[in-house]
Structure 1
Amino acid sequence: MTDASKPTQRRLEQAILSLLDQRVGRSICPSDAARAVYDGDDEGWRDLMDSARRAAARLAAAGEVEIAQRGHTVDPDDARGPVRIRRPQ
Protein backbone atom coordinates (compact mmCIF):
# COMPACT_ATOMS: atom_id res chain seq x y z
CA MET A 1 0.00 0.00 0.00
CA THR A 2 1.32 3.42 -0.89
CA ASP A 3 0.97 6.55 1.14
CA ALA A 4 -1.92 8.82 0.24
CA SER A 5 -1.20 11.94 -1.80
CA LYS A 6 -0.72 15.28 -0.08
CA PRO A 7 -4.21 16.47 -1.09
CA THR A 8 -5.69 13.30 0.40
CA GLN A 9 -3.65 13.76 3.57
CA ARG A 10 -4.97 17.32 3.89
CA ARG A 11 -8.54 16.10 3.29
CA LEU A 12 -8.08 13.51 6.04
CA GLU A 13 -6.86 16.18 8.46
CA GLN A 14 -9.83 18.40 7.56
CA ALA A 15 -12.23 15.47 7.95
CA ILE A 16 -10.87 14.70 11.42
CA LEU A 17 -11.28 18.29 12.57
CA SER A 18 -14.73 18.61 10.99
CA LEU A 19 -15.97 15.37 12.55
CA LEU A 20 -14.70 16.45 15.96
CA ASP A 21 -16.48 19.81 15.55
CA GLN A 22 -19.69 17.91 14.79
CA ARG A 23 -19.26 15.61 17.79
CA VAL A 24 -18.38 18.07 20.52
CA GLY A 25 -17.08 16.33 23.61
CA ARG A 26 -16.80 12.97 21.86
CA SER A 27 -14.02 11.09 20.11
CA ILE A 28 -13.84 9.59 16.64
CA CYS A 29 -12.11 6.60 15.09
CA PRO A 30 -9.61 7.07 12.27
CA SER A 31 -12.02 4.99 10.16
CA ASP A 32 -14.60 7.78 10.44
CA ALA A 33 -12.21 10.13 8.64
CA ALA A 34 -11.22 7.47 6.09
CA ARG A 35 -14.89 6.83 5.27
CA ALA A 36 -15.57 10.57 4.98
CA VAL A 37 -12.74 11.04 2.49
CA TYR A 38 -13.12 7.86 0.43
CA ASP A 39 -14.95 8.49 -2.85
CA GLY A 40 -16.03 4.93 -3.61
CA ASP A 41 -18.96 2.89 -2.44
CA ASP A 42 -17.21 -0.27 -1.28
CA GLU A 43 -14.67 -1.15 1.39
CA GLY A 44 -11.86 0.85 -0.25
CA TRP A 45 -11.84 3.29 2.66
CA ARG A 46 -9.80 0.66 4.51
CA ASP A 47 -6.84 1.53 2.26
CA LEU A 48 -6.85 4.99 3.86
CA MET A 49 -6.61 3.78 7.46
CA ASP A 50 -2.83 4.10 7.83
CA SER A 51 -3.00 7.54 6.23
CA ALA A 52 -5.82 8.57 8.58
CA ARG A 53 -3.75 7.52 11.58
CA ARG A 54 -0.78 9.51 10.25
CA ALA A 55 -3.03 12.55 9.69
CA ALA A 56 -4.21 12.25 13.29
CA ALA A 57 -0.60 11.99 14.47
CA ARG A 58 0.29 15.20 12.62
CA LEU A 59 -2.68 16.98 14.20
CA ALA A 60 -1.65 15.64 17.62
CA ALA A 61 1.89 16.97 17.11
CA ALA A 62 0.35 20.37 16.31
CA GLY A 63 -1.70 20.22 19.53
CA GLU A 64 -5.06 20.16 17.74
CA VAL A 65 -6.08 16.63 18.81
CA GLU A 66 -5.11 13.84 21.18
CA ILE A 67 -4.74 10.17 20.37
CA ALA A 68 -6.25 7.96 23.05
CA GLN A 69 -6.43 4.28 23.94
CA ARG A 70 -8.70 3.03 26.72
CA GLY A 71 -9.42 6.65 27.64
CA HIS A 72 -5.78 7.64 28.14
CA THR A 73 -3.73 9.91 25.90
CA VAL A 74 -0.95 8.02 24.14
CA ASP A 75 1.95 8.89 21.89
CA PRO A 76 0.81 8.09 18.33
CA ASP A 77 4.18 6.47 17.63
CA ASP A 78 3.66 4.04 20.50
CA ALA A 79 -0.01 3.25 19.86
CA ARG A 80 -0.73 -0.29 18.72
CA GLY A 81 -4.26 -1.42 17.99
CA PRO A 82 -7.44 0.64 18.04
CA VAL A 83 -7.18 4.34 18.86
CA ARG A 84 -9.61 7.19 19.29
CA ILE A 85 -9.07 10.81 18.26
CA ARG A 86 -10.38 13.61 20.46
CA ARG A 87 -9.88 17.28 21.16
CA PRO A 88 -7.31 18.03 23.87
CA GLN A 89 -8.74 17.77 27.37
Structure 2
Amino acid sequence: MTSRTDEALGYEQARDELIEVVRRLEAGGTTLEESLALWERGEELAKVCRRWLDGARARLDAALAEDAEDAGDADVEEDAGTE
Protein backbone atom coordinates (compact mmCIF):
# COMPACT_ATOMS: atom_id res chain seq x y z
CA MET A 1 0.00 0.00 0.00
CA THR A 2 1.35 3.44 -0.93
CA SER A 3 1.36 6.12 1.74
CA ARG A 4 0.26 9.72 1.34
CA THR A 5 3.90 10.73 1.56
CA ASP A 6 4.68 8.53 -1.43
CA GLU A 7 1.81 10.09 -3.38
CA ALA A 8 3.35 13.52 -2.78
CA LEU A 9 6.72 12.43 -4.19
CA GLY A 10 7.63 13.78 -7.57
CA TYR A 11 8.86 11.40 -10.23
CA GLU A 12 12.49 12.45 -9.89
CA GLN A 13 12.42 12.12 -6.10
CA ALA A 14 10.91 8.63 -6.27
CA ARG A 15 13.31 7.57 -9.01
CA ASP A 16 16.36 8.83 -7.10
CA GLU A 17 15.28 7.08 -3.91
CA LEU A 18 14.60 3.90 -5.89
CA ILE A 19 18.10 4.05 -7.36
CA GLU A 20 19.51 4.32 -3.84
CA VAL A 21 17.42 1.37 -2.64
CA VAL A 22 18.65 -0.76 -5.53
CA ARG A 23 22.24 0.31 -4.89
CA ARG A 24 21.96 -0.72 -1.24
CA LEU A 25 20.41 -4.06 -2.12
CA GLU A 26 23.09 -4.79 -4.71
CA ALA A 27 25.87 -3.83 -2.29
CA GLY A 28 24.67 -6.45 0.19
CA GLY A 29 25.77 -6.46 3.79
CA THR A 30 22.25 -5.97 5.12
CA THR A 31 20.30 -8.34 7.29
CA LEU A 32 17.40 -10.30 5.87
CA GLU A 33 14.96 -8.00 7.65
CA GLU A 34 16.69 -4.88 6.26
CA SER A 35 16.77 -6.38 2.78
CA LEU A 36 13.04 -7.16 2.94
CA ALA A 37 12.28 -3.63 4.12
CA LEU A 38 14.39 -2.19 1.29
CA TRP A 39 12.67 -4.47 -1.23
CA GLU A 40 9.22 -3.37 -0.01
CA ARG A 41 10.25 0.28 -0.19
CA GLY A 42 11.55 -0.28 -3.70
CA GLU A 43 8.23 -1.79 -4.74
CA GLU A 44 6.37 1.24 -3.36
CA LEU A 45 8.70 3.64 -5.15
CA ALA A 46 8.38 1.71 -8.40
CA LYS A 47 4.58 2.08 -8.17
CA VAL A 48 4.95 5.84 -7.64
CA CYS A 49 7.20 6.06 -10.70
CA ARG A 50 4.80 3.93 -12.74
CA ARG A 51 1.87 6.21 -11.85
CA TRP A 52 3.86 9.28 -12.93
CA LEU A 53 4.88 7.61 -16.20
CA ASP A 54 1.34 6.38 -16.89
CA GLY A 55 0.04 9.90 -16.29
CA ALA A 56 2.66 11.36 -18.61
CA ARG A 57 1.76 8.79 -21.28
CA ALA A 58 -1.94 9.66 -20.98
CA ARG A 59 -1.17 13.38 -21.34
CA LEU A 60 1.02 12.71 -24.37
CA ASP A 61 -1.63 10.49 -25.96
CA ALA A 62 -4.28 13.17 -25.36
CA ALA A 63 -2.08 15.86 -26.90
CA LEU A 64 -1.33 13.69 -29.93
CA ALA A 65 -5.02 12.88 -30.36
CA GLU A 66 -5.87 16.58 -30.14
CA ASP A 67 -3.22 17.39 -32.77
CA ALA A 68 -4.59 14.67 -35.05
CA GLU A 69 -8.12 15.98 -34.55
CA ASP A 70 -7.00 19.53 -35.33
CA ALA A 71 -5.24 18.29 -38.48
CA GLY A 72 -8.41 16.45 -39.50
CA ASP A 73 -10.47 19.60 -38.99
CA ALA A 74 -8.03 21.57 -41.14
CA ASP A 75 -8.34 18.96 -43.92
CA VAL A 76 -12.16 19.21 -43.79
CA GLU A 77 -11.98 23.02 -43.98
CA GLU A 78 -9.59 22.81 -46.96
CA ASP A 79 -11.89 20.35 -48.74
CA ALA A 80 -14.92 22.59 -48.10
CA GLY A 81 -13.11 25.59 -49.55
CA THR A 82 -12.24 23.83 -52.80
CA GLU A 83 -15.79 22.90 -53.75
Higher relative contact order (CA 8 A, sep 6+): 2
Structure having the higher Rg: 2
TM range (shorter): 0.3 to 0.5
User: Larger % of strand: which?
Assistant: 1
TM-score (norm 2): 0.36
TM-score (norm 1): 0.34
User: Larger % of helix: which?
Assistant: 2
